[in-house]
Amino acid sequence: MALCGEVPWLTLMMEKSQHILNSWQSNAHHWIESIDQNQIESRKLITNLAIVEAILKYKPSKVLDLGCGEGWLTRTLTEKGLQAVGIDGTKGLIENALQKDKGIFEVITYEEIIGGVEIPHAPFDCIVINFGLFMDEEVQALLEKLNLSLTSNGKILIQTLHPFSILNQDKPYLSNWEENGWAGLGEQYTEPFKWFSRTLGDWVSLLVNTGYQIQEIQEPLNPITQKPQSMIFVVKAP
């Protein structure tokens, strides 16, 4: 039940967000192992290199890696000479990032950013969200707040699963909640979380309605199947 004065959908959104965060907290050590041992085939073959190349293409000097996890992308960008800051809401992941590299890492949740918490070291000329957007309504609210942390010509890069890669022919092609965000990663991952899958059209509508200008949509291909694995949106600040 919503508290007095709260909007019901906002209360539901917060409950879903907390469930996702709880799941990541519970599985942080498994995720760290998967990344450290390079166990995720799609990342190894396609998506890691794709997001790094997409960022470097626009020659930013100061980058925010939002939803940085254990910090692999933040470290990679730092090694390439960029000033990079990593932020994640999962304390266990940030603790691991700090153990690996005494770089700039902060524990801040999306909900805190939406609620008005200032992002340290802003403004940035590039904000990257690499497979870090799992919610429905929360995403638009987050993007609206992120504009405050961008330079006047700043860009946001979002990499997400390509709808083609998760399309089930037994289900209609619609934006919907998927049941298990850990699917395919192994039985060691417990406490599955639901995540919101969008069609390409709904992604475009979301970004346009938030006020951003879409500059590019990349579709990295699986080199074996030659089918799209992910989408990378490059959007310019309003």
CATH number at 85 reads 3.40.50.150
Largest Cα–Cα separation, the chain: 54
Tracing tokens 């074996």 back to the chain, one arrives at 224
Distance CA 46, CA 223 (A): 8
Is 1 domain-assigned? no
Q: Which amino acid belongs to residue 111?
A: E
**pLDDT confidence of residue 2:** 43
List the chain residues with pLDDT less than 50: 1-3, 9
Distance CA 75, CA 73 (A): 5
Distance CA 197, CA 72 (A): 24
Sign for the CA dihedral angle at 147, 118, 79, 88 comes to negative
- Look up the domain containing 223 and give its range: 8-236
**pLDDT confidence of residue 102:** 75
Is 3 domain-assigned? no
Is 17 domain-assigned? yes
Is 2 domain-assigned? no
**pLDDT confidence of residue 172:** 85
Distance CA 25, CA 20 (A): 9
**pLDDT confidence of residue 1:** 38
Indicate the pTM of the whole model: 0.92
**pLDDT confidence of residue 7:** 52
As a whole number, the mean pLDDT across the chain is 91
Is 29 domain-assigned? yes
Report which of 123, 122, 127, 120 is spatially closest to residue 142, judged by C-alpha positions. Answer: 127
Q: How many CB atoms lie within 10 A of CB 200?
A: 16
**pLDDT confidence of residue 103:** 83
Overall domain count for the chain: 1
Q: How many CB atoms lie within 10 A of CB 20?
A: 19
Say which residues have a Cβ less than 8 Å from residue 122's Cβ, sequence separation at least 6. 64, 148, 149, 150
**pLDDT confidence of residue 16:** 75
Q: What is the DSSP letter of 182?
A: T
Is 115 domain-assigned? yes
Is 222 domain-assigned? yes
